Amino acid sequence: MPTRSNPVYCGVDTIDLAQATKLIQSIAGGPKPAVGGIKLGLEFFLAHGAPGVRYAFPGPVRATGVGFFLDLKLHDIPNTVAGGIRAVVELAPTFITIHASGGKEMLKAAVAEAGGQAAKHNVPRPKLLGVTVLTSLDRSDLEATGVDADPSDQVLRLAGLARESGLDGVICSPLEIAALRKQCGPDFVLMVPGIRPVGSAANDQKRAMTPRQAVDLGATNLVVGRPIYQAADPRAAAEAIAREAGVNDL
């Protein structure tokens, strides 16, 4: 099998600053990172904010070339979401998430703000990804929110809106990858959580597949949290998942 660049982003889901710092150093530091990127999200950012990002994921670790996914899942009126983007672009994230269901005006405001702030801070423009239907939801969960649609149809609809609004990609489950590739083309980023290595527990993920399946279907990146950070040896777990996803030069 030909090797590929490491698609695995580890979700560092903890409020424990020391634990996050140690985990990030062990999987992303050194000459051979075991992951393609680090994802910091709600738990970590609410507890520690921008100073915590700089502390736990410092320049020397970032210099190994790993990506930085700031998974804030912004969802508010356009002016407020633009303000949220304004507050974090200087951290130079590779990706930021906003909810596609926030609507076209909100999505466009975020795109415009990301471009302007990147120029102001002289950092690469972060790629904006639209959250579609959370991977923890199935049809009946959607119905309970008033959406009478299959998750896959709703994901396609929201991805279309995200693309028309200028976003770079979406968060989707593995089950929608093939249809999204067809609808949105080869360059649209498909960042895919709901990834479980063979034999591991699904936890609260209702639309899940293995790393190999997701990559074969056309995922750009995979998001994996608990199967890495809850493992006895997180680095070994990350390497095993990357190998399962077709990375063979670790």
Q: Which residues are annotated as a binding site for substrate?
A: 13, 39, 71-80, 135, 196, 205, 225-226
Q: What would you measure as the largest C-alpha separation in the chain, in angstroms?
A: 49
The CB-side HSE value for 103 (13 A sphere, CA atoms) comes to 7
- DSSP secondary structure letters along 100-124: GGG-HHHHHHHHHHHHHHHHHHTSP
Among 35, 180, 223, 237, binds ligand LLZGTKA7 (CB under 6 A): 223
Using CB under 6 A as the binding rule, whether residue 72 contacts ligand LLZGTKA7 is answered as no
Cα 177 to Cα 220: distance, rounded to the nearest angstrom: 9
Active site residue 204: no
Cα 174 to Cα 209: distance, rounded to the nearest angstrom: 6
Q: Which is nearer to ligand LLZGTKA7, 35 or 117 (CB)?
A: 35
Contacts (CB under 6 A) with ligand LLZGTKA7, residues 115-154: 131, 134-135
Binding residue positions: 13, 39, 71-80, 135, 196, 205, 225-226
Catalytic pick among 22, 73, 104, 108: 73
Cα 71 to Cα 129: distance, rounded to the nearest angstrom: 9
Catalytic residues: 71, 73, 76
Interaction site with ligand LLZGTKA7 (CB under 6 A)? 11, 13, 41, 131, 134-135, 171, 193, 203, 205, 223-226
